[in-house]
Chain A
Amino acid sequence: MGRKRLALTNDIDYLSILDENGKLDSELEPDIVNEEHLRIFQAILLGRRFDERMLDLQRQGRIGTFPPIKGQEASQIGAVALLRDSDWLVPAFRETAAEIMRGRSMESILLYYNGYNEGTIIPDNQKDLPMSVPVASQIIHAVGLGWAAKYRQTDEVTMTFFGDGATSEGDFHEGMNCAAVYKVPVIFVCQNNQWAISVPLSKQTHSETLAQKALAYGMPGIQVDGNDILSVYAATAEAVERARSGGGPTFIECVTYRIMMHTTADDPKKYRQEGEVELWKKKDPLLRYQNYLLKKNVLTEGDLADFEDEIKLKIQAAIDQAELQMKDLGDPLDMFDHLYAEMPPSLQAQKNELIRELENSEGEDHHG
């Protein structure tokens, strides 16, 4: 009888280890070996530079519309850095840095944003799903993969990414709920970048945090400074450990910011104040990490210059390679392939129809 506050199993923590001023909570500082630091840093740097170059290419008309990731590098790389090759990544569509770190080639990204299906080919040794455009729908696939991994009694972990907007979708609810019910080894990484196109977080939810949503599903949740690679890394390490040891799913809210537009077809000036962006630019995850590594002597200025050069060359090589490939790609008949394991006769007939059409219009450009 009576009324009292319920004691719930989980609380929601906020984690910040390295702040925007370079202040470090050394007690919480994760133990990362130097090589790993450099691997992570190079991934962030590549993610940033490739994103910048993509924007240039888009402006030059050399690729189509794409969603820039600038400002979200730490909340992606800090999470995927802990995955093994045997683990699964289920991205949304603004995780290019994470995908590249997992092994997706920049060529494939360039092909994809140039409208080539070949851009979603995932190498055989890689266990990542292709980008998923319908918001939140991929979350459930991660639950299914996690369920299957558990059914097969492996220690594989599945990590899925989505944004703050996705938490309003029904699939977020269904996925989170099922993950907790089946206690599957899945890590939900929410890139809370404050904006879903033009809708700010305040209009997306009335929750004080997104992390607290985990409470309702009966799974651990944590909010971290998404621009602090150390926080993201530490929280993820905990989640991965839990998942691998049969402890079930975890929800990580990375508080970060979409510095750029939603996609290159979008003009954010229409709906948000430049001042807000400037504020967040000061919290840049790349510089914060770079300074931390320089201070820690893991990285030298010389290394940095070398890395920048290497990355520049790598990106250029990828662009050259992609543009070369594109010259040979684009046989329209290829679109008939891979719809089914075996092409049904009625589809074959339609393909034949196009073949005849193409023969009759020799020379005309059928490329997109």
Chain B
Amino acid sequence: MAKMTMVEALNLALRQEMEKDDSVVLLGQDIGLDGGVFRVTDHLVDQFGSDRVVDTPLAESAIVGMAVGMAIYGLKPVCEIQFSGFSYQNFHQLENHAARMRWRTRGRLTVPMVMRAPYGGGVRALEHHAESREVYWAHTPGLKMVIPSGPRNARALLVSAIRDPDPVIFYEAKALYRAFREEVPEEEESFPIGKANIARKGDDLTIISYGAMLRPTLEAAEELQTKEGIEAEVIDLLTISPLEDSTMVESVKKTGRAVVVHEAPRSFGPGAEIVTRLLEGAFYYLEAPIERVTGFDLIIPYFSREKSYIPSVQRIATAARRTLNN
């Protein structure tokens, strides 16, 4: 086991999958010699050549559209969109084709591709570089939407995403890229898409979170524990779509209280679906209204104000206390 940042862990996943399977090819802007603007594809071009680590023109639609063609052909393309804020320029390729090809052709043509994109705030970036709009993809039938929360699960999930027979949108929290290091085994490891993880055990309430928000959520849980002796169970969704609800429902059945945390804007956000699933599955176990701690219904502000927009440890802990006082 070696300690890795999320960037290094993702690089490991790509490298090992490419070593194993020559149908895995990467395409994106600046992913070759430059190694990607966040260095996720660093040195892969040295090992696999520019045939498999393809620097593309500035053309998001072409990147994803070509990947659709490549995937139909039988390759397993992994696209990098430099920032998720630019992926709207390829939205139609995913919505119109990637998501539909299997369904459209009744299973005859499939699109086993991955679109990787950094998302989320917290790194003092400029406009279009900080948003959290996973719900666009989560709301698109036919796509899978995955957001890891740390180096180890990022690697394991990316491996699964590459091997997945369907198109997977893989969001990587910029704020986590180098935030911390974790032991990541050199030997192969994957984590199934569509499974949530219990990141922390507890009996008093359930906090549901994912991606970059997992860390502040865990910190808040820690604070509740040390200050008030409250034991929060923290669920890390990992896959936003298809959303696995049994883990969170079972947890809420046990605790009776829930807080949902995400960086994305609140209205019609992932929390709306998560809360509904909890109501469907655990209504009679609830002892307090479910709280949502999310980004506000705004364009994420320029970074001088970003801290106030992104859910903080304090906001999460306060919401947790509110549910407990109810």
Q: Report if A and B touch in the complex (beta carbons < 8 A).
A: yes
Which residues does A use to contact B, with CB under 8 Å?
90, 117-118, 120-122, 124, 129-130, 132-134, 137-149, 151-152, 158, 170-171, 174-175, 177-178, 181-182, 337-341, 344-347
Among candidates B52, B72, B106, residue contacting A141 with C-beta atoms closer than 8 Å: B72
| Inter-chain contact B62/A175, CB cutoff 8 Å | yes
Is B74 engaged at the interface, CB distance under 8 Å to the other chain? yes
Nearest CB on B from A175, distance (A): 6
Most buried by B among A145, A177, A181: A145
Q: What are 10 pairs between A and B in contact, CB < 8 Å?
A: A121-B106, A122-B108, A140-B66, A141-B69, A142-B69, A145-B70, A148-B74, A174-B57, A178-B59, A347-B242
Contact A346 B69 (CB under 8 A): no
- Distance in Å: Cβ of B245 to nearest Cβ of chain A: 7
The complex places the Cα of A139 from the Cα of B92 at a distance, in Å, of 13
Contact A339-B69, Cβ < 8 Å, known A148-B75, A174-B57: no
Contacting pair A137 B93 (CB below 8 A): yes
Q: Contacts A141-B69, A146-B69, A174-B57: A130 and B96 contacting too (C-beta < 8 A)?
A: no
Report the minimal beta-carbon distance from B244 to chain A, rounded to whole angstroms. 7
Question: Which listed residue (A134, A337, A345) contacts B92, Cβ 8 A?
Answer: A134
Q: Which of B56, B107, B243 contacts A346 (CB 8 A)?
A: B243
Query: Do B69 and A174 have beta carbons less than 8 Å apart?
Result: no
A interface SS class: helix
Which of B51, B67, B72, B104 meets A120, CB within 8 Å?
Answer: B104
B106's contact among A142, A175, A178, A338, by CB below 8 Å, is which? A338
- A268 vs B3: C-alpha distance when bound (angstroms): 67
A341 contacts B165, C-beta separation under 8 Å: yes
B113 to chain A, nearest CB (A): 9
Q: B65 at interface (Cβ–Cβ under 8 A)?
A: yes
Q: What CA separation (Å) do A228 and B121 show in the bound complex? A: 58
Q: Which of A145, A178, A344 contacts B56 (CB 8 A)?
A: A178
Q: Are A144 and B59 in contact (CB under 8 A)?
A: no
The residue on B at minimum CB distance from A336 is B103
Query: Do A118 and B70 touch across chains, with their CB atoms under 8 A apart?
Result: no
- Check A338–B107 contact: CB distance below 8 A: yes
**Min C-beta distance of A329 to chain B, whole Å:** 11
**Which of B61, B77, B244 counts the most chain A CB atoms within 10 A?**
B61
Query: Is B102 within 8 A of A174, CB to CB?
Result: no
Q: CB distance A346 to B73 under 8 Å?
A: no
- Does B141 sit at the interface, judged by CB under 8 A? yes
For B164, list chain A residues within 8 Å (CB): 341
Which residues of chain A have C-beta atoms less than 8 A from B144's C-beta?
340
Q: Is the CB of A143 within 8 A of B166?
A: no
The answer to whether A144 touches B72, judged by C-beta atoms less than 8 angstroms apart, is yes
Chain B 69-83, CB within 8 Å of chain A: the 1/0 string?
A: 111111101000000
The interface residues of chain A lying within 8 Å CB-to-CB of B75 are: 148, 151
When the two chains form their complex, are residues B242 and A344 in contact, meaning their CB atoms are under 8 A apart?
Answer: yes
Instruction: Please tell me if the beta carbons of A144 and B108 are within 8 angstroms of each other in the complex.
Output: no
* Closest residue on chain B to residue A347 by CB atoms: B242
Interface contact B61-A170, CB-CB below 8 Å: yes
Inter-subunit contact A337/B106 (CB<8 Å): yes
Complex CA–CA separation, A174 to B64 (angstroms): 11
A83 to chain B, nearest CB (A): 16
Closest to A173 in B: B59
Contact partners of A130 in chain B: CB under 8 A: 101, 104-105, 109
Query: Is B97 interfacial (CB 8 A cutoff)?
Result: yes
A132 to B243, CA, bound (A): 30
Interchain CB contact under 8 A, A171 and B69: no
Across-interface contacts of B105 in A (CB, < 8 A)? 120-122, 130, 338
Determine the chain B residues whose CB is within 8 A of the CB of A337 once the complex forms. Answer: 106-107
Given A121-B105, A344-B194, answer yes or no on A140-B61 (Cβ-Cβ < 8 Å).
Answer: yes
- A143 in contact with B62 given A178-B57, A346-B242 (CB within 8 Å): yes
Contact between B57 and A145 (Cβ–Cβ < 8 Å)? no
By CB atoms of chain B within 10 A, which of A122, A129, A132, A144 has the most?
A144
Structural contact, B102 and A339, CB atoms closer than 8 A: yes
Look across to chain A and name the residue whose beta carbon is closest to the beta carbon of B95.
A134
Judge whether A117 and B65 touch: CB under 8 Å: no
Please name the residue on chain A nearest to B75 by beta carbon. Answer: A148
Q: Contact at A144–B66, with CB atoms within 8 Å?
A: yes
B165–A143 touching, CB < 8 Å: no
Contact yes or no, B104 A145, CB < 8 A: no
A140 with B69, Cβ < 8 A, contacts A177-B57, A178-B57 known: yes
